[in-house]
Chains A and B, each alone.
Chain A
């Protein structure tokens, strides 16, 4: 019980910093749109950012070994056809099997 109440101070700083920047992204949209108009080019770049961040996050780990790359490809194939929880569970089962085989 005591362990679950442990608080890491450097982590608290990260949480507070993350909370502040996240809140600013939430209030920033209405605030900005009332003042500046983004051109279509800047808008397209901003729109592509979340996807690009996710790709950059998974690429090194997903391509680190053949078993993980195959399982990642499998998840991509089923991701839009089944609920997210199912896709994640199937991906984990696939990677456990593939790591044993390859």
Chain B
């Protein structure tokens, strides 16, 4: 019997360390964004405590950018607050699909432990976990999660503390950073020319609704629904084309 058929399972400590190491490049990219989000939050009137709570409890970058943008424009009172929660939900709907693909990895894990682990599922966490394949362990998962969580919390709070010192961020075009960040995130969703029809439909619907009610956030809902509807029609046509 040859010794190479014997595989020694990695200890939880080794698995955790591997998760930490694998997430370091992501941290390098995420920290400037956390800092940017924090400074925009300061501009929107959020305190460092506000920002820290949001990062600690919501822990979802894109949706936090959206939330801070809406808070800056419309404030936090009444229906504006409900719209922020609704926008966070819409931006994070993609988690449903991502989580669905991880289901085989979480099948054997007790429900409460899976629920806690899934709290940390960001785009990056999901990507690293999928890449780990069937050997994914909870220790590895938490190595990634702890690293990304602490980096995000620290950078967003630091950005809020620093941003509060900036008198007029708009003078340096900081208001445009929102547009630029969203366009970069959007580029990550590009899947070829097939992506264009839903996006054009969303833009058209958003512009039309925004013209009717410039202050509200209904244009986001309208755009999301229009884009989803067009994508559904595309899928239907594609299904028919492949049937024929």
Contacts and interface: CB of A to CB of B under 8 A. Distances in A.
A13 B81 contact: yes
- Chain A contact residues: helix, strand, loop or mixed: helix
25 contacts: A6-B50, A11-B46, A14-B76, A14-B81, A18-B57, A21-B85, A22-B63, A25-B95, A25-B96, A33-B99, A41-B239, A43-B235, A47-B231, A48-B230, A51-B199, A53-B91, A53-B202, A56-B205, A58-B178, A72-B180, A88-B177, A88-B184, A91-B179, A92-B180, A93-B173
Contacts of B234: 44
A101 interface: no
Contacts, number: 290
Given A55-B202, A79-B184, A21 B89 contact: yes
Nearest to A23: B119
Interface residues of B, number: 97
B95 A22 contact: yes
A10 B50 CA distance: 11
Interface residues of A, number: 70
A11 B115 CA distance: 25
A11 B70 CA distance: 12
A102 interface: no
A5 B49 contact: yes
A27 B99 CA distance: 7
B159 interface: no
